[in-house]
Structure 1
Amino acid sequence: MARRRSSGITSLGFNQDQGCFTCCLTSGLRVYNVDPLVEKAHYSKEELGEVSLCEMVFRTNWLLVVRARRPCSLMLLDDQQRAFRAEVMFKSPIRALRARRDKVAVVLTSSVQVLSLPSLGRVALLRVPAAARPLCALATDPSAPQLLAAPAHRRGSLQLLDVSRAVKGAQSSSPAVVGCHQTDLVCLSLSANGAKLATASERGTIIRIWDTMSKQMLHELRRGSDYADVYCISFNLAGTLVCCVSDKGTLHVWSARARGGRSHVCALCAAPAAAQPQRRALCAFSDDCSAVVICEDGTFHKFTFSAEGNCHRSDFEYFLQVGDDDEFLH
């Protein structure tokens, strides 16, 4: 999600435990804590230049940064020392990043390369179609299989690969291919332990949940009857809930558990600030009873929901204004 808006935001991204998010700007970089909403780090344009992508590695001091003037270069920033520790160059621009504690997946034009952290040495490579959206997901639980999900060459399909079995400097053994939709994939997400996979196609009417071991569909969740551009799908840390936001301006929250063979809709919440195409958004869970939405217009929304379907917006902020008058927290 690296698109420039009038707010100066070029991209947004939650960290792996969904407790922090990064805000890349034409004027630098900011890092925020979610609950409470507090600015934790602030880099000016003079320090970093225009930042197009950033991936925070859990709550560590590691920030993976791509600058607009060096789109083929991935840099590892030590926020504690405010200094770069490593850099690696690619032959094509970096389109997306996904990290776990020991690895980062880098989405390029026609491949996803997996690098070790903090050395940034390559440990796996996966070929992807050049025309596909820059999608990938990594299982982040250190005790679970190190699954990587990315688009496959067959339309509507994706490939799953255990990157822990990869051979350094070479392409890994053949990934498993899962046919998920009849139209192109626009969004995908893995649960933290890699056991569940969520996908959405360009139609955007349904979210499908898959078992990554059996490659079988577990649930089909109805988002709506009108076509929509799904911006983000997220699981909670336990993999029991899933949420999504789209250009329809709604946040959907479902149970990811089977209930009599059917999925259960926990809540449907209006998120007006995500309703227009110029206000793309990301969603995440702050706990099992609340979800947050961050938008490229600089707004922060927190929703509280119940299994009975009750939902209300419990917090709203302009996060770009948070910390402007305070000392920066590191």
Structure 2
Amino acid sequence: MAVEEDEDGSEKAVVQYVNFNQDAGCFAYSTSVGFRIYSCDPLKQTLRRDLDGGVGIVEMVFRSNILGLVGAAARNKVIIWDDDQSRCIGELFFRSEVRAVRLRRDAVVAVLEHKVHVHSLSDLKPLHEVETFDNPRGVCAISPASTMFVLACPGTMSGGEVRLELYSLGKTLFVQAHESPLACLALSQDGRLLATASVKGTIVRIFDTNDGTKLHEFRRGAERAEIFSLALSVNCHWLAVSSDKCTVHVFNLVRSKFEHKPRRRLPRLSASSIFSLAANSSMVQGVLPSYLKSDWSFAQFRLPADSRAIVAFGAAKNTVIIICGDGSYYRCAYDADRGGDMVQKEFAKFT
């Protein structure tokens, strides 16, 4: 258990896990002593609960009184917490560690390393069980809209395959999204679009969930990176990406799809990389076209070094909310016509 101390020696809450709710109007984070919930705009603490043993994972159901919790120590159990009653109202037990939890108004999804379990939220009855490829990161996404229930998780054939369960349509699809294992998935609010990234972290792809068609391909950068989060805007015009390169990127889906402008920013290559490419003409032919075919980010925001951040689109037009593991909060705006560097509108520390 991660525990820090204040200068006087008393225990201080340490952020264990943080995530936005389904409409990104709030975020919740778990600590070594409980969990906290904040509204995003304006930034304000709305709920604080201290629980014995601490909390490893906390997930919200929009802004309701129902939450999904995984303890800091007992990691094979999902607790359904009713905050109006300040008590557990249901539990799901599994034989292995719960890597992630996802919630809808009608379902709770528990992600294990090799399985995904879907249960009814009202009575916790099992609805579906999915076998997956190795999934130690707990990669999984579900659509929050009541009209369309889509689940995206790793497939079984390879680490880069996505399995799409379109429960509302009674259909299952498999999409070979990447060659490398999956690192992050995100679905649009209505479940129509799927965003994917692999552990390589250089390319982000967008797919149509109805038939698995690839709609867009975006290049985050030339160097390998760990993708922390993907977020699609409500109108599906924008995609936001955060990674360990300490830069939040915003990509324009509309411009990419309809304009296909030829202007691209080529990657910064070191002298050794340039020499290596020049020495192998077949490699040049294979690499450069892939860079030219991929769209680069439309807007960017630079974070301090060593920032681990998740990102979502704010309620105000053309804004993003960035939440960092060190307790930093940023609200930034981007120019929807010109792009470029985002402008920081607000900064605060929430821990």
Amino acid in the other structure paired with 2:23? D
Cα distance in 2 for residues equivalent to 1:204 and 1:261: 23
* Residue aligning to 2:223: 226
Name the CA shift for 1:315/1:61 in 2 (closer, same or farther; >3 Å): same
Q: Does 1:285 align with 2:348?
A: no
Find the partner of 1:267 among 299, 303, 322. 299
* RMSD (CA atoms): 1.9
Computing the radius of gyration from Cα coordinates, the structure with the larger value is 2
Name the CA shift for 1:104/1:313 in 2 (closer, same or farther; >3 Å): same
Cα distance in 1 for residues equivalent to 2:166 and 2:117: 13
Find the partner of 1:22 among 16, 20, 28. 28
Which structure is higher in RCO with an 8 Å CA cutoff and minimum separation 6? 1
Q: Does 1:149 align with 2:152?
A: yes
TM-score, length-scaled by structure 1: 0.87
* Residue aligning to 1:298: 327
Cα distance in 1 for residues equivalent to 2:135 and 2:37: 31
Which deviates more from structure 2 when the two are superposed, residues 156-165 or residues 259-268? 259-268
Alignment of 1:230-245 (within 5 A): 230-245=227-242
Name the CA shift for 1:48/1:18 in 2 (closer, same or farther; >3 Å): farther
Cα distance in 2 for residues equivalent to 1:176 and 1:4: 40
* Residue aligning to 1:49: 53
* Residue aligning to 2:62: 58
List alignment gaps of at least 5 residues for structure 1. 167-172, 321-330
Name the CA shift for 1:113/1:188 in 2 (closer, same or farther; >3 Å): same
* Residue aligning to 2:271: none
* Residue aligning to 1:180: 177
Cα distance in 2 for residues equivalent to 1:104 and 1:306: 37
Question: Contact between 2:112 and 2:135, CA under 8 Å: does it hold in 1?
Answer: no
Question: Contact between 2:55 and 2:70, CA under 8 Å: does it hold in 1?
Answer: yes
Q: Look up the SS of the partner of 1:74 in the other structure.
A: strand
* Residue aligning to 1:309: 339
Question: Contact between 1:199 and 1:209, CA under 8 Å: does it hold in 2?
Answer: yes
Residues 30-72 of structure 1, C-alpha deviations (whole Å, 9 max, x = no match): 011101101011011xx34310001100011111111123211
Amino acid in the other structure paired with 2:25? G
Amino acid in the other structure paired with 2:349? Y
* Residue aligning to 1:124: 128
Higher share in helix: 2
TM-score, length-scaled by structure 2: 0.82
Residues 241-288 of structure 1, C-alpha deviations (whole Å, 9 max, x = no match): 11010000001111222232465843111122xx42xx4211111133
Name the CA shift for 1:131/1:18 in 2 (closer, same or farther; >3 Å): closer
* Residue aligning to 1:248: 245
Name the CA shift for 1:128/1:4 in 2 (closer, same or farther; >3 Å): farther
Q: Does 1:92 align with 2:96?
A: yes
* Residue aligning to 1:318: 349
Q: In percent, how many aligned pairs have the same letter?
A: 33
Find the partner of 2:15 among 9, 13, 16. 9
* Residue aligning to 2:213: 216
Cα distance in 2 for residues equivalent to 1:309 and 1:48: 47
Question: Contact between 2:133 and 2:159, CA under 8 Å: does it hold in 1?
Answer: no
Report the CA distance between 1:296 and its aligned residue. 0.9
Question: Contact between 1:4 and 1:11, CA under 8 Å: does it hold in 2?
Answer: no
Cα distance in 2 for residues equivalent to 1:182 and 1:117: 35
Question: Contact between 2:143 and 2:189, CA under 8 Å: does it hold in 1?
Answer: yes
Q: Look up the SS of the partner of 1:60 in the other structure.
A: coil
Residues 145-197 of structure 1, C-alpha deviations (whole Å, 9 max, x = no match): x110001121311100123477xxxxxx7x31100111111111111111111
Question: Contact between 1:302 and 1:313, CA under 8 Å: does it hold in 2?
Answer: yes
Report the CA distance between 1:227 and its aligned residue. 1.1
Amino acid in the other structure paired with 1:25? T
Amino acid in the other structure paired with 2:210? M
Cα distance in 2 for residues equivalent to 1:286 and 1:87: 33
Amino acid in the other structure paired with 1:315? E
Q: Look up the SS of the partner of 2:228 in the other structure.
A: strand
Report the CA distance between 1:24 and its aligned residue. 0.3
Q: Does 1:35 align with 2:66?
A: no
Amino acid in the other structure paired with 2:155? A
Cα distance in 2 for residues equivalent to 1:104 and 1:24: 18
Report the CA distance between 1:133 and its aligned residue. 2.7
Hey, which bits of structure 1, 4+ residues long, moved more than 6 A?
A: none
Report the CA distance between 1:203 and its aligned residue. 1.5
Amino acid in the other structure paired with 1:187? C
Question: Number of matched residues?
Answer: 304
Cα distance in 1 for residues equivalent to 2:320 and 2:350: 16
Question: Contact between 1:191 and 1:236, CA under 8 Å: does it hold in 2?
Answer: yes
